[in-house]
Amino acid sequence: MTGDVAARPGADDGRRDRTDGAADGASRGSRGPGALAIVLHTHLPYVEGFDTWPFGEEWLWEAAATCYLPLVDLLDRRPDARALTLSVTPVLADQLRGPGVAERFRAFLDDTREDVYAREIEGFRAGGHEDEARALVELLEHYRAARPAADDDEGIAGGLLRHAAWTSSATHAVLPLVATPEALRVQLATGTASHHDRTGRWDGGLWLPECAYDPALDGALAGAGVRAACVDLTDHLGHGDPRHLRPWATGAGTTLLPIDRALMDLVWSDGAMPAAAAYRDTHRRTTFHLQPWSNDGRAWDPGRALAQAREDAAAFVRAAVARVADGGLAVVALDTEFLGHWWLEGPWWLEAVLDEAARQGLRIVHADDAAAAARARGEVAPLPPEARRTSTWGTPRDLSTWSGRRVADLAWETRALELDVVAAGPAATERAWRELLAVQSSDWAFLRTRGTAGDYPTRRFDGHAVALRRELATPGGLVPDLRGLAPRLAGTAAQSPASRYRAAARSRSTLWSTIGSG
């Protein structure tokens, strides 16, 4: 696969265009107007093959049709879109590369979506609600537009990975909650090796899952080759503080790019741009959970929504121009799935931002290029003392979403399982490690804390935990593979008793004060 990506026409040229253009603009640095970096974090829980609706692998098909394929189309069509920084988590790539995925995606488009939309359209027309029926006809076209990609040999993952520059830990584990150096190394090594194997390149950009950072991670990040990552220092430095507009360095030299809530909140916060009257209402639903209405209660109108997206893009770029008028780098990080699934018009808004940036003279730069240019100019200072603490982009911006009272049992069980796997040394099989990686996913605690997926996250966590304990009790009792998860498992060499003792000591000192305290 690496050879396919490297040989793809235009792939290398596109990367060269991105670097040269960004470096030219970045050379002005703090001596003039600054720049904007847009980082798109692309991730879904490990759901492939585990249930379908309402919770399960249909999340993959929805995201592919409404988020991933429209984004790939934008990145393929527009050279200036290559300045966007795309991060794809290894666990998402694992799922999209799984056996039978293309066939099930086609069935979702050809059968499930066609059938459900036809029923709802017929019902609205029978009831004399032609505007709602027309809105559903327009919305169905989003799924029909995705149909050709279902027959593409490269699949959904190929398009994303062709443009993905950043990776993440193997299964989106909250890294400050990983108890041992051994398991931390496996999360990072597996994630980076997977990305490099699939793309043939990696410049060191890594998405810290949940933007979770702690100075205790510095050595592990640098050791894994991480050169740049995003952090949320809002509560440490203050909302809107100009120090968010500059990169910082960890104690081991990794460049940290603070996300800028002053700009992000315009798009991604309660009452932000997606709440405008013309946009699709994601809360009001039909019998089959379709969404043909706008936020103001009228039937959704694509022309009206597109005009709103362009207006909001212009306002966002004006705010960005003002924010970096005196120099600096504003980093706006968004979940890719937010643009298309939760905010249907998000891809339109994103393309309009590119148009407005050119019109208003705003430089959009790739995060890797911005970080490299800042390092070359010697503008990356050590992280301020007040920011040398744990931070996340959770609510609140600490670890409680993943270790608080509502999920303390998951956190404690994850820790115990990790210590057991590490203590097993060479007896811990590949399947045991894969089950541990699955248990460590941040998604189970997040979904339970938010209460948005019923008992699904608990069932999934329990299933992996049971399988892991079974495999530890009878090594080799299960096949090594766990569907498509972590095919490039890395860093699981046998550990010495001394290192296991140090790992256990570290876990006691680090975690006892955090689990269950939120």
Number of Cβ within 10 Å of residue 239's Cβ equals 11
Q: If you search the block for the tokens 């699949």, which residue do you land on?
A: 155
d(CA 463, CA 484): 16
- Average of pLDDT values for 150-161? 85
Whether 408 and 377 share a structural domain: no
**Ordered DSSP codes for 66-95:** IIIHHHHHHHHH-GGGGGSEEEE-HHHHHH
Q: Is the pLDDT of residue 10 over 60?
A: no
- Average of pLDDT values for 394-410? 96
Structure tokens at 455: 């008992």
d(CA 442, CA 433): 16
Supply the pLDDT for residue 444: 98
Supply the pLDDT for residue 18: 57
Structure tokens at 52: 């379908």
> Closest by alpha carbon to 214, among 392, 349, 61, 396?
392
Domain end position, chosen among 338, 359, 387: 387
Q: Please, what is the Cα angle at 423 between 418 and 425, to 5 degrees?
A: 110
Beta-ladder partners of 391: 213
CA trace torsion 65, 67, 73, 76 (10° rounding): -140
pTM over 0.75: yes
Number of domains in the chain: 2
- Average of pLDDT values for 152-166? 89
d(CA 105, CA 150): 7
Structure tokens at 305: 């929504």
Whether 356 and 410 share a structural domain: no
- Tell me the CATH number at 429: 1.20.1430.10
Whether 159 and 220 share a structural domain: yes
- Tell me the CATH number at 121: 3.20.110.10
> Closest by alpha carbon to 400, among 392, 156, 291, 238?
392
- Average of pLDDT values for 34-47? 98
The set of residues, in sequence order, having a beta carbon less than 8 Å from that of 496 and lying 6+ positions away, is none
Structure tokens at 56: 């399960």
Whether 355 and 432 share a structural domain: no
Whether 370 and 420 share a structural domain: no
Phi and psi of 476, rounded to 5°? 85, 0
For 252-282, give one letter per residue: b (16+ CB within 10 A) or e: eebbbbbbbbbbbbbbbeeeebbebebbbbe
Structural contact between residues 394 and 444, judged by C-beta atoms closer than 8 angstroms = no
Structural contact between residues 478 and 463, judged by C-beta atoms closer than 8 angstroms = no
Whether 424 and 382 share a structural domain: no
Whether 17 and 58 share a structural domain: yes
Confidence category of residue 516, pLDDT binned at 50, 70, 90: low
The set of residues, in sequence order, having a beta carbon less than 8 Å from that of 489 and lying 6+ positions away, is 186, 190, 430, 433, 434
d(CA 366, CA 37): 6
- Average of pLDDT values for 369-373? 98
- Average of pLDDT values for 465-487? 97
Q: Is the pLDDT of residue 507 over 50?
A: no
Structural contact between residues 278 and 295, judged by C-beta atoms closer than 8 angstroms = yes
Task: Report yes or no on 175 lying in a domain.
Answer: no
Q: If you search the block for the tokens 């527009």, which residue do you land on?
A: 78
Q: Is the dihedral of CA 351, 357, 358, 363 positive or negative?
A: negative
Supply the pLDDT for residue 510: 45
Supply the pLDDT for residue 518: 59
User: Could you give the C-alpha distances from 433 to 182, 409, 411, 414, in angstroms and in order?
Assistant: 11, 20, 17, 12
- Average of pLDDT values for 222-246? 98
Lowest mean pLDDT among 120-134, 214-228, 406-420, 484-498: 484-498
For 57-113, the pLDDT digits (tens) are 999 999 999 999 999 999 999 999 999 999 999 999 999 998 899 999 999 999 999
Task: Report yes or no on 349 lying in a domain.
Answer: yes
Phi and psi of 426, rounded to 5°? -60, -20
Structure tokens at 429: 């099989």
Structural contact between residues 184 and 490, judged by C-beta atoms closer than 8 angstroms = no
Structural contact between residues 51 and 102, judged by C-beta atoms closer than 8 angstroms = no
Supply the pLDDT for residue 491: 87
Range of the domain at 417: 402-511
Whether 490 and 444 share a structural domain: yes
d(CA 323, CA 362): 11
Lowest mean pLDDT among 9-23, 96-110, 469-483: 9-23
> Closest by alpha carbon to 135, among 294, 284, 287?
294
Whether 357 and 469 share a structural domain: no
Task: Report yes or no on 181 lying in a domain.
Answer: no
For 299-332, give one letter per residue: b (16+ CB within 10 A) or e: bbbbebbeebbbebbbebbeebbebbeebbbbbb
> Closest by alpha carbon to 324, among 358, 364, 373, 268?
364
Whether 303 and 430 share a structural domain: no
d(CA 273, CA 285): 21
Whether 337 and 420 share a structural domain: no
User: Could you give the C-alpha distances from 29 to 80, 358, 456, in angstroms and in order?
Assistant: 20, 18, 48
Judge if the upstream peptide bond of residue 90 is cis by omega within 30 degrees of 0. Answer: no
Task: Report yes or no on 190 lying in a domain.
Answer: no
Structural contact between residues 184 and 107, judged by C-beta atoms closer than 8 angstroms = no
Beta-ladder partners of 207: 168
Task: Report yes or no on 176 lying in a domain.
Answer: no
Domain end position, chosen among 361, 387, 413: 387
Whether 145 and 245 share a structural domain: yes
Confidence category of residue 155, pLDDT binned at 50, 70, 90: confident
Task: Report yes or no on 157 lying in a domain.
Answer: yes
Residue 417's Cα: distance from chain center in Å?
25
Supply the pLDDT for residue 32: 58
Structure tokens at 18: 């991105």
Task: Report yes or no on 146 lying in a domain.
Answer: yes
Task: Report yes or no on 357 lying in a domain.
Answer: yes
3-class secondary structure, 189? helix
d(CA 167, CA 88): 5
d(CA 158, CA 72): 10
- Average of pLDDT values for 433-441? 98
- Average of pLDDT values for 314-340? 98
The overall average pLDDT reported for the chain is 90
Q: Please, what is the Cα angle at 9 between 7 and 14, to 5 degrees?
A: 105
Structural contact between residues 424 and 457, judged by C-beta atoms closer than 8 angstroms = no
